[in-house]
Amino acid sequence: MDKLKMAGAAYRALTARKQAPSLYDLCDPVFLGRKHGDPHIAKFYRTALGNPALRPLLRKAGLPELNDPVRFRAIRDALIAARDEADPDWTAIGRPIAELIDSVQLQHPRPPASIAPTQMPRLADIDSAIRATSDHLLRSWEHNGFIPTYAAFNLIGDPDFGSPAFLAALTGLNARSYKNSTLLFNLARVFIARSPAAGLINPPWRGIAEPIWAPVQIRHRSAYYDAFYVEALLSFIETGLGTPEDVRAARRIVADMVQFCIETSRERVRSAEGESFDVITALAPPPHPRFSRFFTQIKQNLGFGVYVPDCDTTACAISAATQANSTDPILDRPLIDFYAGYQVRAGANEPLVTVPLNDNVDYEGGIATWIDSISGERPFGNDLDPTLNLDVLEVSFRNCARWAIVETPSRLDTVRRIVDFQRRLVASGAFAEPKSHVYYLPELYCAYFGRCYASFRALDEGARRAIDPDGVFEFIRERVLAYVADELVAKEMNVFDAALALIALGHLDGDLAHFTPALHCVLNHLGEGGRRGPFKAYEWNKMKTPTRILVGGPEVTSAFVLMGLALARKAILQRPRNG
């Protein structure tokens, strides 16, 4: 990111000449100084959009169409209805704002082709980078008492979140607070995207994964993140590069994180059949998420107070515990039986997906994201993400024998239907489209397919044949490797892109020559993180509602680079370039 250009964007935003009604002209009379109506929407407006940091950047950003008093009044009336009506008509409220959203044109990154070095880096340099990233994770744990992850808001929103997705979210989200925040964030993003402030809030970057540069980053802890830190530290131990002291420390940390995943974050819910099931919540109750007091209050003001379990966190936490050889009884309960109740069956339970942000995907056979709490809460409504479904398969393969999947027709059917969901996704080419993914990038889908494929290949031949008699996994492997070769490593990458490429290539037995550009990218940028770690923070996953919320951090980058380098190192040692 060019700091000079960002400074120029800030200057233009602060000194722009006002020529049309601004966000504050529209909203201040509705939400400031009012004592009636829904108290949350006014509090959200003051905290998120009317705050002293954002107001100077947007106070002169106006929309010429709002000079039309009829259109101005229609939007204001919609905001008043959202504030005052006990049971708002969210479609009617969203319609005039949806028209504004359609005036915003955003694009996903399109990295240019790159000429990468062809000489494989020295193994000693790869080993040094592995030690640097593992040391970063160990030091972070020692300093914080956990390994943190960070969330940051990008107020310009997601390129794929147009008016249809906006209206789908308004009607499909369950909690009024999330509807309120989605409404106001998406109104604000129009003013941001069409003003000089866009260059400050959404500057261009190198590669595909978005850097998390926002000055306000919310540090927290979740079982989902700990599960991947477990995998990273296990991969470090496997390399044999750690000192005895480092290995002992890594094992202690792994044990603590596994406990956090499957004990601290455990929550009891009911399956579709009414049976009690233990699953893993997205955010454990306080004080476990480790928010600061400041951000705890902001989170409440923004309406992000209710979290429920999700299928992805549950799958990854159980997988991490399995890899760490946990003996907790939670691993003995066949999780695939629970997932069957969240599997979409065309014509039967399709309304399970209430927020179809990726409606270009055929959901049949896929597992939805969010799990109803024991009290029936589902504030996010429900959606369906392809990468999540890879995690469901991965944990099922790791526990295939324990859960008697092949021997139980209903379980085998559930797994086969997820596999067929993935087959159709990849055959259509939709896996390579950002719109298909609710929480991830296509590049991350490739890396996570690699994890899934490795677990599948570890099964005995009979189990593989029973689960995949038609060779779907080999078909997907070929498509994913082609995508990594043609669309990822052949183009300009940042460190996180390169790490994802290495993970995919390593697990999928990719051509050793394709490792080379990704390895050079990682090694050439070692040290870019300055005092915070070896590398900068990049987008790992995201939320599209209520706006684009990125999750990642310097430790996350170190973890993914560590896993990618460990796999590359193994491939180099097993498959010499001239062998």
Residue 566 has a CB neighbour count (10 Å cut-off) of 25
| pLDDT at 579 (0 to 100) | 41
**Residue tagged 């008492």 (tokens):** 145
Looking up tokens 């570890």 gives 458
Domain architecture of the chain: domains with CATH:
3-109+159-200 (no CATH), 123-154+202-574 (1.50.10.20)
Omega into 546 within 30° of 0, i.e. cis? yes
pLDDT of residue 299: 59
Q: For tokens 């599997």, what's the residue?
A: 343
Own/partner long-range contacts of 419-422 (Cβ < 8 Å, ≥24 apart): 419/393, 419/467, 419/468, 419/472, 419/473, 420/364, 420/365, 420/472, 421/362, 421/363, 421/364, 421/365, 421/366, 421/386, 421/389, 422/386, 422/389, 422/390, 422/393, 422/472, 422/476
Let me know: does 556 contact 564? Beta carbons within 8 Å: no
| Residues 409/411/413/414 CA torsion (nearest 10 deg) | 170
Parallel/antiparallel/unpaired status of strands 266-270 and 539-543: unpaired
Enter the tokens of residue 312: 């992805």
CA 439, distance to chain mean position in Å, is 4
**Helix axis angle, 223-239 relative to 244-259, nearest 10°?**
160
Cis peptide before 287 (omega within 30 of 0): yes
pLDDT along the chain (579 residues), means of 10: 69 80 96 87 91 90 95 97 96 97 92 90 97 98 96 92 95 92 96 89 91 86 97 98 97 98 96 92 81 62 71 98 97 97 80 92 96 86 96 98 98 98 98 97 98 98 98 98 97 98 98 97 96 95 92 97 98 74
d(CA 247, CA 250): 5
Strand ranges inside 168-262, DSSP E = 218-220
- At residue 477's C-alpha, the angle toward residues 475 and 481, to 5°, is 125
Report the alpha-carbon angle 143-148-150, nearest 5: 135
Give the DSSP letter string of 7-43. Answer: HHHHHHHHHPPP-S-BHHHHHHHHHSS--SS-HHHHH
- pLDDT for 501 equals 98
